Structure 1
Amino acid sequence: MRQVTIHAAKTNLSRLIEAALRGEEVVIAKGSRPVVRLVPVSRGAFTIGLLKDKLGSGPDFFEPMSDKELDGWEGGA
């Protein structure tokens, strides 16, 4: 376990983050009293296409608008 003061943590933050990412326990202390533990954020596995076939189809933005829809956008009655 590595314990550093707040001042040393501000000075060496990049090195401390790298140490935490390597699995080393890093504790930041106020004076001699430990107050914070620096740990990496756990990331869940991201799956592409997770909601495929579950949301249905959305609007096709490349299809031309109907005359009624187009009139609404252009301020027609």
Structure 2
Amino acid sequence: MPTIINVHEAKTHLSKLLKRAHEGEEIILAKDGKPYARLLPLEDMQPRVPGLIDGWIDDSFFESLPEDELNAWDQ
């Protein structure tokens, strides 16, 4: 069951709440007693690998459009 914390208290204890969320606890932030947002731990993010989609787009993607199609955009 998630813990519900009002925004005012969350501002006062943000570092502690972030630590709890990082450890896996779900924390609901409430505004005027109503659920407003939630703090959750981030899933392990893998570093981005450049060039992963290399070869998915062929050179025709960058060719100019035919004249009749270009003219259709001007209408």
If the length of structure 1 is used for normalisation, what is the TM-score? 0.55
Over aligned residue pairs, what C-alpha RMSD do you find? Answer: 2.1
What secondary structure, in the 3-state scheme, does the structure 1 residue paired with 2:10 have? helix
> For structure 1, which runs of at least 5 residues remain unmatched after alignment?
56-77
The offset of 1:51, in angstroms, is 5.0
One-letter amino acid of the structure 2 residue matched with residue 37 of structure 1: R
> For structure 2, which runs of at least 5 residues remain unmatched after alignment?
55-75
What secondary structure, in the 3-state scheme, does the structure 2 residue paired with 1:34 have? strand
Per-residue CA deviations over 1:4-61 (Å, capped at 9, x if unaligned) read 10100000000000010011010100121000001233342237xx559xx9xxxxxx
Q: Percent identity?
A: 33
What secondary structure, in the 3-state scheme, does the structure 2 residue paired with 1:4 have? strand
What secondary structure, in the 3-state scheme, does the structure 1 residue paired with 2:47 have? coil
Runs of 4 or more, structure 1, over 3 Å off, are: none
If the length of structure 2 is used for normalisation, what is the TM-score? 0.56
One-letter amino acid of the structure 2 residue matched with residue 6 of structure 1: V
